[in-house]
Homo-oligomer: A and B are copies of this chain.
Amino acid sequence: MCIDADRLWDTLLKLARIGAYVDARTGLSGVNRLALTDADADGRRQVMAWFGEAGLEVRVDRVGNVIGRRAGRFDHLAPVMSGSHIDSVPTGGAFDGALGVIGALEVVRSLNDAGVVTRRPIEIAFFTDEEGCRFGTDMLGSAVACGRLPLDVALDLTDKHGLRMGDELARIGFQGEAEERLTPRHAYVEVHIEQGPVLAAAEMDLGVVSGVQGISWWELTVRGRSAHAGTTPMSLRRDPGVAVARLHLALDAMARSGRFGPEMRATMGRYDAHPGLVNVVPSRVICTVDLRNPDDDQMARAEAAFAEEVATIERDLQVTIEREQTARTDRVPFAPVVQAIIARHMDALGLRHATLLSGAGHDAQELAAVCPTAMIFVPGLHEGISHNPREMSTPAACARGVEVLYRTLVELAEEG
């Protein structure tokens, strides 16, 4: 093996201690490095220090992305890039994002140990707020770097407490001065845990990711009429919570029906009733909807069916439903040429691998706009649970993924 599996695992666990918490119910240790919090800042400083110790030239751009550069023999050539993110959901685990960043760092450390200087420069990065949990837009830093989102729009986003993204970035000391827009890179490869059950169920060692399914996020404000739970006859109610319940079941049934393909997914992850009291019919409920589909036409049909359901419920229950789209990406196909290189190295290592589409969004889908891109998936334990303290992979699986990353990056960095 070209990489040091123990050092990789050890560094992953060190990073997991930053923002660590113990889940009161299960006793498991989770990670909370919500973007641009103090814990995220601590993680950023640690990883930057590691980047520096590995001899990288480190820059922070104006949206807080941190990029470490390793010079090549022909240093004017477009770099090969790798990375991911170190922010987490508030109830996250040790691998999501971190494996891609620490894996890329391990590649650089191993190149240093071996005294290899590649033809092209290599850049490794962690991007700001990939999760999107805080400011409502996922892949925030990479979306700005790759041109999907203007810088000022990103900086002006606010969290649920009204705090501005740009102010929080400055507060933690990560509003850098480097240009945020990436010029075309030679290629981008990201290693990431699968966050799903497919590879483990098929007894695969690794996955080659052929793209990312389409994502459609919505925030809904459902307004009815507040009323006293004891005195208001059922016939006089306009309960926004009943509307949300009906919509929730309708979306769940839609996703299970097969009408939008076998991989349609629909989730309502958040719902807040106002005022939220046992004996008051709420005046309004705010909820979120997350739709996923690997097929753009099916997704468009699912979105139309969702809009129709909303209109029907508004009419039936005499409520109003405002819908705001908070994220929307079409399916992103990855570069077959990069997938082929990844698969060849897996074969050479005797690893069983499958090609699959990612169900989750990743920074790689933004990078795909500026260069040939693909991803390597490492299977997780516990049916691939992620965004949870139970998120777990094995040292061997992580090492396999990063070994393939090493070989793939070196091959790409030697290309003319």
Contacts and interface: CB of A to CB of B under 8 A. Distances in A.
Given A228-B360, A360-B230, A249 B249 contact: yes
A17 interface: no
Interface string A376-391: 0000000111111010
Interface in A231-287: 231-236, 239, 241-242, 244-246, 248-249, 252, 255-256, 263-283
Given A195-B231, A242-B249, A245-B249, A272 B269 contact: no
B89 A280 contact: yes
Interface string A167-208: 000000000000000000000000000111100000000000
B273 A271 contact: yes
Given A252-B242, A271-B271, A282-B269, A90 B230 contact: no
Given A89-B275, A279-B269, A195 B228 contact: yes
Contacts of A90: 275, 277
A128 interface: no
A91 interface: yes
B281 A276 contact: no
A213 interface: yes
Interface residues of A, number: 75
Stoichiometry (number of copies): 2
A275 B230 contact: no
Contacts of A230: 195, 213, 215, 265, 290, 292, 358-361
Interface of A: 89-91, 131-133, 136, 138, 194-197, 213, 215, 217, 219, 225-236, 239, 241-242, 244-246, 248-249, 252, 255-256, 263-283, 288, 290, 292, 326, 358-361, 383-388, 390
15 contacts: A133-B279, A196-B231, A213-B230, A227-B385, A228-B360, A229-B292, A231-B358, A232-B265, A239-B252, A239-B267, A242-B252, A269-B278, A270-B277, A278-B290, A279-B290
3 A-B pairs with least C-beta separation: A196-B231, A231-B359, A229-B267
Given A131-B279, A213-B230, A215-B230, 5 more contacts: A230-B361, A231-B360, A269-B276, A270-B273, A272-B272
